[in-house]
Structure 1
Amino acid sequence: MLLQEKMRQAKLAPAERSVIDYLLLYPDAVKQVTIKQLADKTYVHPSTFIRVAKKLGFDGWLDLKSAYLEELDYINSHFGDIDANLPFSSNDSIMTIAQKLAKLEQTTIEDSLSLIHHNSLEHAKKLLHEANTIKIFGSNVNTLISRDFILKMRRLKKNVTISNIDGEQAYESVNTDEKTCVILISYTGENAMILKVAEILQTTGAKMIGITSIGDNKLTEAVDCVLNITTRERLYSKIANFTINTSICYLLDVLYAVVFAENYHHNLDQLIKIGTRFDTRPTTSAIIAEPKSSCS
């Protein structure tokens, strides 16, 4: 749930509600004025802002202000000239559709990058690098998206599996330990199966990375580390999961890349060595062909 929605739904006293109404109506004012000036504008005592912040789960007004401005900045950035749900219209030509989808994917990656925080990515890299086993849990297309990540990680000699058989997720969850890192993928962060897996994993000592939407949700609260998916699409009134799928692919590629970089030269040499020995695909393209020094 976005902070703005949480603010709208919170049960507050009349004076506290007036504060929220003002913040939602005049979001830009938050950047420019002090808490005393805001209190004067809303005809409440400054302490009201602190009470509101605590009721919304923050330590104080400055934490609420920072989170609110960060959310506003995210919502107002990128995607200004393209609709994630309906990126093209019925009147568009095929080349216009191709151009708009290219723009959509470029914007999605920029948007996803803006959601990555250094400390979270560093934490995720550490969990994956130190794990003896990596397991992925997702539903529907998320399990398909993950297969390329699994293939690449296995080439680095990482033991990565995915649980995609309905009814087996609980058994897979129980069979983990503190040397297992689990990646849980859910756009809403409220998927019942994923949350049940997270509940079981909390008892086994396994480490958890959550890939989910921005804002508060149950998955975010359950995992050790969160990476956020571009959060622009509605649940079903859309053409397809274009931005969700692109964002998940990008985040998984980033995770693979940062793990690869931990032993960059060793991993690269290993991939080239194996490719030289077993990749015998013919090509007539000079661009694709390997240099002779790599094939000798």
Structure 2
Amino acid sequence: MLLIERLKHTSFSDAEQVLVSYLIDHPEGLQDMTTQKIADLTHTNPTSLIRVAKKMGFTGWLDLKEAYLEEWQYLNSHFTAIDANLPYEQTDHLISIAHKINTLQQNTLQDTLSLIDSKDLEHAQKLLLNADEIKVFASKTNALIAQDFVTKMRRINKKITISSTYDYSTYEAFNSGNRTCALIISYTGEDDSFIKCMDILKKQGASTISLTSIGDNPIATNSDCSLKITTREKLYSKIGNFTSTTSVIYLLNLLYSIVFTADYEMNLNHLIQIGRSTDTRKTNIDIIKEQS
């Protein structure tokens, strides 16, 4: 759940609710405001802000303010000119639709990049490189997307499997160990089956990397490393899952790349050697033609 949603649904005292309502209605001015200034504007006591922060699970007001502003800035960036759920209209010309989808894709990539922290990437790289086996847990569209990631990783000789059937996922979780790294892809981060798998994986000693939406969710919270999918789409009231699909593809390509670059020359030479031995395709187009 997003922090702003938690603020709206948490029970507060009358004085605390006045503060919370102000936070929700005036996020743009909070950055440079002191607790005393906010208290003066809302006719409350500065200590009420601390109590609100504690109720939300933060150590103090500054931690709450930082998290709240980070979320607000994310939700109000990148997608200001186009709707992720309804990016074009019935009356749009075909070339207009082409431009809007292009804009949507670019916004999605920038949006996803803004959610990435270098420490998380370093952690994900370490977990993947230290694993003897990698297991991907995904369902439906995400499972189809992940198959390309699995293929890329296998081409550089990584032991990796994908589990997309719920019952089978449980078996795969049980058959894991402390040299297993599990990659769990779930847009909501609240998939009961994968939450169960995470519990099993933890008991088996496996490490976990999650790809989920922003905000608090069980899969992200309980994973060793959490990467965020761009979070703009409704569950079903949309033309297509354009942004979430693009975001997951980008993140999987990124994970493959940080594994690849850890032994860049060896992996590149390995791929070229395989290609020379097995790729029989022919072309008359110089730009894609391989040298003899």
TM-score under structure 2 normalisation? 0.98
Structure 2 counterpart of 1:119, which letter?
K
Pairing 1:21-32 to 2, within 5 Å after superposition: 21-32=21-32
**What displacement does 1:15 show?**
1.1
Structure 1 counterpart of 2:214, which letter?
I
Q: Tell me, what secondary structure is at the counterpart of 1:178?
A: coil
Pairing 1:124-139 to 2, within 5 Å after superposition: 124-139=124-139
**What displacement does 1:187 show?**
0.6
Pair 1:263 & 2:267 matched: no
Matches of 2:285 and 2:193, distance apart in 1: 47
Report what 2:16 is aligned to: 16
Pairing 1:158-173 to 2, within 5 Å after superposition: 158-173=158-173
**Percent identity over the alignment?**
49
**What displacement does 1:29 show?**
2.1
Matches of 1:67 and 1:24, distance apart in 2: 13
Q: Tell me, what secondary structure is at the counterpart of 1:284?
A: coil
Structure 1 counterpart of 2:212, which letter?
T
Matches of 2:143 and 2:123, distance apart in 1: 23
**What displacement does 1:166 show?**
3.5
Calculate the aligned-residue CA RMSD, in Å: 0.9
Q: Tell me, what secondary structure is at the counterpart of 1:136?
A: strand
**What displacement does 1:201 show?**
1.0
**What displacement does 1:144 show?**
0.3
| Displaced runs of 4 or more, over 2 A | none
**Contact preservation (8 Å) 2:166, 2:193:** no
Total equivalences in the alignment: 292
Report what 2:228 is aligned to: 228
Structure 2 counterpart of 1:20, which letter?
V
Structure 1 counterpart of 2:149, which letter?
F
Per-residue CA distance 1:252-291 (angstroms, 9 max, x = gap): 0000001101001111111111111211210010011012
Q: Tell me, what secondary structure is at the counterpart of 1:210?
A: strand
Q: Tell me, what secondary structure is at the counterpart of 2:30?
A: helix
Structure 2 counterpart of 1:242, which letter?
F
Mark the runs of 5 or more structure 2 residues left unpaired by the alignment: none
**Contact preservation (8 Å) 2:139, 2:165:** no
Structure 1 counterpart of 2:88, which letter?
F
Report what 2:196 is aligned to: 196
Structure 1 counterpart of 2:276, which letter?
T
Structure 1 counterpart of 2:271, which letter?
L
Report what 2:175 is aligned to: 175
**What displacement does 1:223 show?**
0.6
**What displacement does 1:32 show?**
2.3
Report what 2:146 is aligned to: 146
**Contact preservation (8 Å) 2:174, 2:201:** yes
**What displacement does 1:14 show?**
1.1
